Structure 1
């Protein structure tokens, strides 16, 4: 499994956090769920952090079974639409977003 992570580093402008996250839910999540090959989408809103941590407002994670599925997602005609919608929502955000691709494993601690 591969996870493509988007880190939204910065701050939501002028106490517009509720509007920002509502628009993420209503306008962006539908695109993310439609990408071909995606098996899971996680949106994480940062609620606390270490005092010296970078300002991260949100983390988006999308899981793919393999590189071919990730490549299909990146080549999808949905991507330009998603990017345009993201740019509109980002007008409320001071900062940047960038992507990482990782592989990993999950260890369940509950039986």
Structure 2
């Protein structure tokens, strides 16, 4: 499986933290969950870290079964729509955004 992540390295603008959270939940998650081929969508919010820098306000994680599925999602209309809607989020955010694709292997936990 493959996981494509969008790292939001930075912070919500002071005083706009709740608005940032609501914007993601109400406007972006409904789009991200419609990406073709997506098997799982997770929005991660940093609660704590063992370093002060960098701070990640959010990490979007989308799981796909193959690299081909990622390419299909990246070429989809809903992805372009989400990019337009993301522009509104940037008014509430200070930092940069970058994407990474990970190959992921799952391992079962012991049952004993």
Q: Which has more helix, going by share of residues?
A: 1
SS for the counterpart of 2:82 is: helix
- For residues 53-97 of structure 1, what are the alpha-carbon distances to aligned partners after superposition, in whole Å with 9 as ceiling and x for unaligned? 312111110010001111100010111110011111121000111
Deviation at 1:110, TM superposition (A): 5.8
* Structural mapping, 1:50-69, within 5 Å: 50-69=50-69
* Structural mapping, 1:8-47, within 5 Å: 8-47=8-47
**1:90 corresponds to which residue?**
90
What is the Cα-based RMSD across aligned positions, in Å?
Answer: 1.2
Q: Which runs of 5+ in 1 are unaligned?
A: none
TM-score in terms of structure 2 length = 0.92
**1:100 corresponds to which residue?**
100
Does structure 1 retain, via aligned residues, the 8 Å contact 2:46–2:55?
Answer: no
How many angstroms apart in 1 are the aligned matches of 2:94 and 2:19?
15
SS for the counterpart of 2:10 is: strand
Deviation at 1:15, TM superposition (A): 2.5
Pairs aligned (count): 111
State yes or no: 1:81 paired with 2:65: no
TM-score in terms of structure 1 length = 0.93
Runs of 4+ in 1 over 3 A off after TM superposition: none
